[in-house]
Homo-oligomer: A and B are copies of this chain.
């Protein structure tokens, strides 16, 4: 069977889904494909480049929202779409959190997002800054979700650290609801900013 970048990437994704992040080593990937570890290096310069390709494969699964929806609804759809796609592929989710996909699929999503922000009424320079703030926040939320799933001890530690300062139980770290709340704060901030920009026009 002839190797191609696409074939290597999808085999790596499947391996990660099945056996987790640590299973996606060059040696294990090669074994999965039944080839020499070095054969992979003929298609990708290094492991990171391969994982970037796998991440973009996941970005392909994210639906681009209908352009007739309001801009804030579209941003919510895009970001929670990326988040749930990543969580469907736990092996690569950690990599996605560190390096949001920038291949063809990633750029398609970035385009939809910046379009929505421009439509919100932000100045071009602020579109980029708000874009990066939203990506940064989503990446962090994804990382917390990944860590929370794999490290119960950490969740306990966070809980212990905060419990003393507050009454009531700690909401689950990295949960969907927690993610939505921060996104809501950011979108509120953007709305306020856009209103100010519109007035100054």
Separation of A189 and B192 alpha carbons in the complex (Å): 8
Determine if A44 is an interface residue (Cβ-Cβ < 8 Å). Answer: no
Of chain B, the residue at the smallest CB distance from A123 is B168
Determine if A186 is an interface residue (Cβ-Cβ < 8 Å). Answer: yes
* B contact residues around A107 at 8 Å (CB): 161, 164
The B-contacting residues of A in range 133-183, CB under 8 angstroms, are 133, 136-137, 139-141, 143-144, 147, 154, 157-158, 161-162, 164-168, 170-171, 173, 177-178, 181-182
Whether A137 contacts B128 by the Cβ 8 Å rule is: no
Separation of A76 and B188 alpha carbons in the complex (Å): 19
Determine if A111 is an interface residue (Cβ-Cβ < 8 Å). Answer: yes
- Contact with A129, one of B128, B165, B181, B186 (Cβ below 8 angstroms): B181
Separation of A166 and B110 alpha carbons in the complex (Å): 11
Given contacts A137-B140, A139-B140, A154-B99, contact A130 B185 (CB under 8 A): yes
Most buried by B among A99, A131, A154, A181: A181
Count of interface residues, chain A, beta-carbon cutoff 8 Å: 53
Most buried by B among A124, A140, A158, A168: A140
Whether B143 contacts A98 by the Cβ 8 Å rule is: yes
Separation of A128 and B174 alpha carbons in the complex (Å): 12
Most buried by B among A107, A131, A147, A182: A182
Whether B132 contacts A166 by the Cβ 8 Å rule is: no
Determine if A38 is an interface residue (Cβ-Cβ < 8 Å). Answer: no
Q: Closest 4 CB pairs between A and B?
A: A185-B189, A133-B182, A136-B140, A140-B140
Besides A185-B190, A186-B189, 7 new A-B residue pairs in contact (Cβ under 8 A), listed by A number: A99-B154, A124-B168, A128-B166, A132-B173, A188-B189, A188-B193, A192-B192
